[in-house]
Structure formats: C-alpha cells, structure tokens
Structure 1
C-alpha cells in the first residue's frame, strides 16, 4: 500500500463507494471501488487498492493545508491557528477576492506543472483575515474541481470521511462541505489512519482473516453538513475561480518559458 491506500484501510474506506478527504500538506479525495475507472484527461489516479479484488480512484491537489502555512508566513501571522482565528472573525464577505492554490503547479483536474498561485481581487480594504478566508475557499474550490473529475469516471460520491491536520478547523470544514455539497464525517483517530492501516494489513497477512472483519470504519465523532446559505455565497466566487485558471493558463506557461 501507498500512504493513501493504507490510510483508507486504517479508516475503513474499503467498500465500493466509500471515500475520504485528506486535508494535509497536499489534498486527496480517495474513493474505493470494485472496478478500474480511470480519467487520465482530468488527472485522476486509478490503482489497485491494498486489498484483493478492489480498486481506488484519487483526485490529488498538490497544495492544500500548505497554502495556509504559506499565507501565515506571507502575512506575518503568528501561526496557522492565529490566521484561522482571523479568518473566522472576518465573516466571509469577500466580494470578488479569490485565491488559486496552485503553489506547486496542479495535478487533478488540470495536470499542469506551470500553474501558479494567485490572489485576485485585492483592494485597499483587503486585510489579513480576508486573505486567509480566500485561501480556505480556494482550497475548497480546488477540491470541488477534483470531485467533479472523480465523478466523471466513477459515479456520485455521497459523503467523505475527513483526515489530516487541516481537519481540525471547524470553519474549513463548513466551507469544504458547502463547496463540495457533501456531508463530511470526522472520525475518532483519523490522524493515524495510514499507520493504523499498515498494522491492519500486517494482521490480515498473518491471520488470513476477511478484510471486512478487520477493516471496520472508525467511530464518527461528528458530521458537518453542507450549509445552503454558505453554498449560495460561495457559488459566484467558485465560478470566478474556475474562469481565472482558464484565462491565465497561457500566461502561466509564458511565465515559465514553455
């Protein structure tokens, strides 16, 4: 198993259609399946799962929670937690302020190493809290683009378990659920998913037990449902987010001399 497949085993994402969202340095949407369902044109990964007779698909964005670290360093915030508090207090009225989180290029759905990070819509009134909020939203919009690419290949995903360090932010959870239009389930112990999954795989190899017996889902601590009011507020900025990448694609390549 790679890290994500092991994480899936650890949190019990083994049945077809079950899925997790990993909000770490990079961002991953992982869906377990019973068939090979590639979408190479949109940068979707399709591999054998770590268990027999199963497959998985992944949408991978190269910069997720690392974008918050970047913004904290850029703006002189004490740390990421302090920046999140400022984003929470801002209230979300950003106007046209949008962040493209392509600080390391992007994989799903653009497969574009030339893509760059962008703040668009800056004014004299833009403050640190607004920049932080735009970062949270931009990462959520990129996850939503990845979900679209996944579902083109493998059908609708109904909900996601959430793992990774960024999962500790309640505000980010609300934004993600509303941008994705899916409930997010937060499990107990999700932060140790890959290591726990490796232990489960070792146990299966030794005992020969059925995977369903060992690879049980973790207990859910709480669930964040999509907020229709927040989703409506995010919609125009997501449309602008998607347009900006298309408008800037040639400029990204020109900046790299490609």
Structure 2
C-alpha cells in the first residue's frame, strides 16, 4: 500500500506539484525514489494517487495522477468536548479519536482541571494537537482531518453553544447518571462532553444540562478522563458499521 501524506494546499487537478515542506520532509525520510507511488490528501475527503518525480535536498516534485473518493467517515458527526487531562494524555485522546472517526475535538478547562492552558502556550498546544490529528489521518486512512478547536473554559464554551439544533444530541458523561449509553439510538450529530480527572462540579453539570446535555452512564466501572470519551466514540463508531 502506498505511503499516505497530508498536503495543506488544495489538490484540484492532475499535473505536477511541488510538495509543501512538511510533506516533502516525510517523503525524504522514507527515502522514496522517483517512480515510487504515493497517496496524497488535502483534508477535504478525497485522495489522489500520485508518483514521485524528483527528489531534491529541499524539494520533492510529484505527479498527481487520479482523484479517488475516500468514504471512510462515520455516518454521524461526533464532536468530543474534552476537559484536558494532565500530562501528555491529550495527545493520546487526539490520536485515538482521529483514528476512531471524530469530526472535531474541543479542548476545555474546568474548575477541577489540573492542566490549565492559555495564551501562546494554548495556541502552541492546539497546533501540536492538529499535527497529531494529521499524522493519525495519514496512518489510519482517513482523508478528512478533524478540527482541533481553540482552548476555552467550560463556562465560556457552554454559554456560546446556543440552542440545540435539530438532529443533534448532547451527552454529558457522568458516572452518577441513570441513563445507559446502550439504550441510545443513532442521530446525525453527537456532541459528547467529558470531564477532568476529578469530574465536573455539580454546578458545571447543571450548566451543561441547561444547555440540553443528557447525562449518560458508561457502566459500573469508573473510567479515566482519557478513557471515557474514547469509549463512547468507539461505541458510536462500531454502531455505525454496516
């Protein structure tokens, strides 16, 4: 199977193309030679079969051959709104959520957050996570790159949601909830809110419910902050198969 690379410029028609620096570096690292087949995608949903034409010290030129549809997205759009866990565990959430088909990821800061990001540090982290998502798309075969939104406080994010649109369901992951995930049916859009290591405060859960979130229970075991959102996404992904 040809190596896959994300290109951050639109791919419109067959012809020669000079790869952007980030993509060119990956081709060079793999030491691909002229004539080697590769697959390129620009994040819009399709992918292109291509061939390496020339390898230079700072430039890689390829020939775009044929556009192909790549229908590997979930049947529903799932957004994970995640209160960021401590250390580097957000990297794992972004990587695995991308593999499982998330459409977007919203990093949040809540009352009990251990990891608190703001300003330039938050911007750098979001750019890093967007790169993690791109790499996960290259590996997993996805041709639509999920958007990593700017870090927000939970309160500000909730206040900006507005009325729940038709066709969207909103789930709040809570170990105390009586509503089991397994009882839910399919919907066009699902917005999943998952709390930090110490859970959301009672006031935060009330604020989420006021915005149309339904509290959902994932079972008798308490899952870690970086496990719970991925468990839900995995269940949704498997539910949409077939």
TM-score, normalised to structure 2, is 0.28
| Higher relative helix content | 1
Q: Which has the higher contact order (CA 8 A, sep 6+)?
A: 1
| Higher relative strand content | 2
State the structure with more CA Rg. 2
